[in-house]
Structure 1
Amino acid sequence: MTRDVMPYDVVIVGGGPAGLATAIRLKQRAAEAGEELAVCVVEKGSEIGAHILSGAVFEPRALNELIPDWKEKGAPLNTPAVEDNFLFLTEKGSFKLPTPPQMHNHGNYIISLGNLCRWLGQQAEELGVEIYPGFAAAEVLYDDDGAVKGIATGDMGIGRDGEQTANYQPGVELHARQTIFAEGCRGSLSKGLMEKFSLRDGVDPQTYGIGIKELWEIDPAKHKAGKIIHTIGWPVKSDTYGGSFLYHLENNQIVVGYVIGLDYTNPHLSPFEEFQRFKQHPAVRPFFEGGRRIAYGARAINEGGWQSLPKLTFPGGCLIGCAAGFLNVPKIKGSHLAMKSGMLAADAVFDHLTSGADSKEATAYSAAIENSWVAEELKAVRNIRPSFHYGLWAGLAYSAIDTYLFRGKAPWTFRNHADHDKLKKASEAPRIEYPKPDGKISFDRLSSVFLSATNHEEDQPIHLQLKDPSKAIAVNWSLYESPETRYCPAGVYEVLDDPTTGKRLQINAQNCVHCKTCDIKDPTQNINWVVPQGGGGPNYPNM
């Protein structure tokens, strides 16, 4: 059965803040110029916002530029930030630290980024953008010259055995003059494009963190809308990059999360368990006592910053947002950068398409980034995250010097490293004993995944692929005691006793919340995350 073909001027892969800002800006430019421009957004989640997870304290700088009257149009920015707190935790106590200037949040808003994306989707559709949720971009299409000519959505109705079922429907080819990839952190197609076009040549490896988040409804007496708390220190050791956030939303809701750098070395460490343990701290637990957990999710985040950005353009398209790596780690914010990168890409692509240029590459986008406040912001903080490679205390000391003495203009740039090769062997690292969950403040993985509303059609190929299945036991189990069973926040990976082989790895792909941690942290890069059938995965309501 052949695939249908739908032609567009621009196809955007991903309905997050970057992709939607791009679509809106393209339509704005077309309207200003009196041009017709066919723009399409494909989103693998069941709806816009279903796969969006972020803290999130939102800096509205890019939104102010894109839609200046967003307040009048009802953008869901309802809770201004009113109070910043930065704490260092010991096992039993805490003390307040000066809030770094990058973490001052006056003028920002505590939001659900998923709900903001739903609103941005409405704005895009009102401008004539076609949005197709539930369609996963599974394949990049190339023309005879090797340039990108669009994407194909995944086939539906393929069984676990790889054969077509009675419900089989072929994917659709979306052809475009320019294809913009806004897949988010560690996008599967973006990863392939970086390899094909050597986009990472000459830049540092990207480095990542995993962020795990819960949404709670708490006692009104303990709630203060706009209050922000960040912590460092306990429960992780000083050689592990990690910290927490607690943000008070409206309606007596609070979001709590924990981020751990994926360059950690101890294979016995579990980011999920560290998060659950963190909530039991005496300075944290009282917020949740008598409250109710509403939602749960997890997502990898980029931490490499300026020196880890790839080349952004290639024949037929470009990378934007977290697909490229736009995130300010000291600020703990990336949405404003993602949106601005998309807006600059939209300007470059529109000018390219209307100029009649022979080239298929909108190279002006890279120059626009270099000359924008995006570059200014990221260059200023480029050394802060890598300074923590030397431990917590060295990182804090250097960050203060870099911020207050050099003001981000030090005449050197620290280098980043890949995360997957940092694990010690299990026999060389101390074991970590985690307390059992109490079911009130701390929980297990499976009850948490339930709150993410994750669902996949079970009779489909496993979307977590092992390049060499033998390595699961011969390498991961034998050397590291299968760290994937601990770094996965959704219980996807289990090592079971097998009467024939002794041990075997079971992959519970239906639990996957699409965080991409396994694709990043697997020590031999043996796990390859690809898109499942469209619409599968989490269905986050207000994350």
Structure 2
Amino acid sequence: MTPESLIEQYGPRESMEYDVVIVGGGPAGLSAAIRLKQLAQEKGVELGVCVLEKGSEIGAHILSGAVMDPRAISELIPDWKEKGAPLNVEVTEDRFLFLSEKGAVKTPNWALPGIFKNHGNYVISLANVTRWLGQQAEALGVEIFPGFPAAEVLYHEDGSVKGVATGNMGIGKDGEPTENFQLGMELHAKYTLFCEGARGHLGRQLSDKFQLAKDADPQVYGIGIKELWEIDPAKHQPGLVIHTAGWPLDTQTYGGSFLYHIDNNQVMIGFVVGLGYTNPYLSPFEEFQRYKTHPEIRKFLEGGKRISYGARAITAGGLMSLPKLVFPGGALVGDDAGFLNASRIKGSHAAIKSGMMAAQAAFDAVQAGRQADELLAYPEAFKTSWLHEELHRARNFKQWMSKGLYLGTLMVGLEQKVLGGNVPWTLHHKHRDHEMLKPAAQCQPIVYPKPDGKLTFDRLSSVFLSNTNHEENQPAHLTLKDASVPVNVNLQTYAGPEGRYCPAAVYEFTKNDDGSDKLVINAQNCVHCKTCDIKDPTQNIVWVTPEGGGGPNYANM
């Protein structure tokens, strides 16, 4: 049944009215909610604010490195330390290594640009910081609805955004309602803030409808794959931050790693691969597994135990790829817009700051009696903020690094270390990531070693550690525009890249009884990283929201 026919049969949907509805309970959405309520308290007015979160709880879908710059959280909640925010491990040492297959060259600290220095920053679990932000928001009176994904944008007759509707529950694999069927609910607001993270499902629709990106460079992405390890206490150095570039990637493929020592004898280790890579045989997951075998990395992990796993796409286009932030009735905030600073490998401070600026604009508009217009004060505030200044200094980083490791390193060093980011030139992205794959016939297959089960692992055992779960009797949330394309185009031309770029064993090509090929989609494995939605060369895969609460359940990630 179509959504429209379900509403006809079971509707109309119930609705709730708010001043501001926020889609996404990550750092951007929760910071916006907190700031809205702070402003309401300061002015002594009532303001209805709600947050919709697709994860089973706040923080369940949050995954990041992460080293956090506390600048924005200090603006939002100046007494965060007294209130018990889980920023406990201050960075004590930075190391930046260039890796060859067996060796490593450490960059002297005096030669590191300021963007690579983390003095005054904290090694954190962003999932735990987000849970804490959720508690602060609820204490201020924000209504938070975890397990309720916003599945549809609602519009007024004039085309402005009216709010969102949550997804229907209890639809079977056949598309028909089961005995557990529940119609979604509508949430109407004067303004709706979209804070879904990188490659937001509704953010994409809004960008297309309102042509938000027409004057911006194409957005580009990376996939970040991460594990949490408990290591030998003798090897543990709380606050040690290690970044690497080079091996196992070739010099023309953008990427790098992080290894962060947090508390409790744990390290967070991860690998980022730019999704503009060209060889369809490349597997970011296997490159990460290979990276862990390097002598400089394995020495920390040997004798330890892997305790968690996850993956998530990150926006990397920077300032030049930012779309128009506002449209009638709403705004894009945080990584739904693309505020991450790829040069610093940091986005949480940018998400918090953008949430605060959007909140101020929405609050002022509501108090002025306006609704469903464009919150122009938000992009204007951004242009005069420290966040704009920071992103402007780093605006060429990804563009230079896309030209290769050696030239990129040289030019980033020149711009950032020698010229302090004050350069008269601006580089531009010209291609989207999905346009970059070469036909398999033009590329060299990559043979990856088998996992040993101690240091390196397969996808399925990894997904198990992400605590991913979806209701099995539901339509796949990974949809195909044309079911023939995976075999006829992707397999034939690109050797079936779906099975390699996905870090969760969702896609596999198997044989029909007659020997022909078919694509199997194991949607229950999906960790919601959005890589397939980004990298599919024909843009035939479209990620939509699954039933509420489905997906990973990250602890301490």
The reply to whether TM is greater than 0.5 is: yes
Q: How does 1:185-264 map to 2 (within 5 A)?
A: 185-264=198-277
Q: CA deviation at 1:405?
A: 3.4
2:171/2:475 contact within 8 Å kept? yes
SS of the residue aligned with 1:28? helix
C-alpha distance in 2 between matches for 1:384 and 1:189: 28
Identical-residue share of aligned pairs (%): 64
1:448-477 CA-to-partner distances (Å, cap 9, x unmatched) read 000000000010010001111111111000
Q: Is 1:130 aligned with 2:131?
A: no
Q: CA deviation at 1:97?
A: 1.2
Q: How does 1:69-468 map to 2 (within 5 A)?
A: 69-98=79-108, 99-357=112-370, 360-416=373-429, 417-468=431-482
C-alpha distance in 1 between matches for 2:48 and 2:365: 15
Q: Name 2:74's counterpart in structure 1.
A: 64
SS of the residue aligned with 2:162? strand
Q: How does 1:452-531 map to 2 (within 5 A)?
A: 452-500=466-514, 502-531=516-545
Q: CA deviation at 1:17?
A: 0.3
C-alpha distance in 2 between matches for 1:169 and 1:323: 28
Q: CA deviation at 1:228?
A: 0.6
C-alpha distance in 2 between matches for 1:341 and 1:31: 20
C-alpha distance in 2 between matches for 1:289 and 1:265: 33
Q: CA deviation at 1:389?
A: 2.1
The one-letter code sitting in structure 1 at the alignment partner of 2:446 is I
C-alpha distance in 1 between matches for 2:285 and 2:32: 34
The one-letter code sitting in structure 1 at the alignment partner of 2:143 is E
Q: Name 1:43's counterpart in structure 2.
A: 53
C-alpha distance in 1 between matches for 2:371 and 2:505: 50
C-alpha distance in 1 between matches for 2:239 and 2:423: 34
Q: CA deviation at 1:359?
A: 6.3
C-alpha distance in 2 between matches for 1:414 and 1:201: 17
1:78-115 CA-to-partner distances (Å, cap 9, x unmatched) read 10000000001110111101333201111110000000
- Alpha-carbon distance change, 59 to 411 in structure 1, aligned in 2, over 3 angstroms: same
SS of the residue aligned with 2:367? helix
Structure 1 unmatched runs, 5+: none
C-alpha distance in 1 between matches for 2:320 and 2:171: 41
SS of the residue aligned with 1:390? coil
SS of the residue aligned with 1:284? helix
Q: CA deviation at 1:499?
A: 2.6
1:356-411 CA-to-partner distances (Å, cap 9, x unmatched) read 24762211101011110111000000011101221111100110111133322222
The one-letter code sitting in structure 2 at the alignment partner of 1:404 is K
2:282/2:446 contact within 8 Å kept? yes
The one-letter code sitting in structure 2 at the alignment partner of 1:75 is A
1:134-175 CA-to-partner distances (Å, cap 9, x unmatched) read 001000000111110100000000000100001000111011
C-alpha distance in 2 between matches for 1:357 and 1:527: 39
Structure 2 unmatched runs, 5+: 1-9
2:225/2:288 contact within 8 Å kept? yes
Q: Name 2:6's counterpart in structure 1.
A: none
Question: Which range is displaced more, 404-413 or 377-386?
Answer: 404-413
Q: Name 1:532's counterpart in structure 2.
A: 546
Q: CA deviation at 1:33?
A: 0.7
Q: Is 1:10 aligned with 2:20?
A: yes
2:28/2:352 contact within 8 Å kept? yes
Where does structure 1 differ by over 4 angstroms across 4 or more consecutive aligned residues?
A: none
The one-letter code sitting in structure 2 at the alignment partner of 1:507 is I
TM-score by length of 1: 0.99
Q: CA deviation at 1:412?
A: 1.8
SS of the residue aligned with 2:529? coil
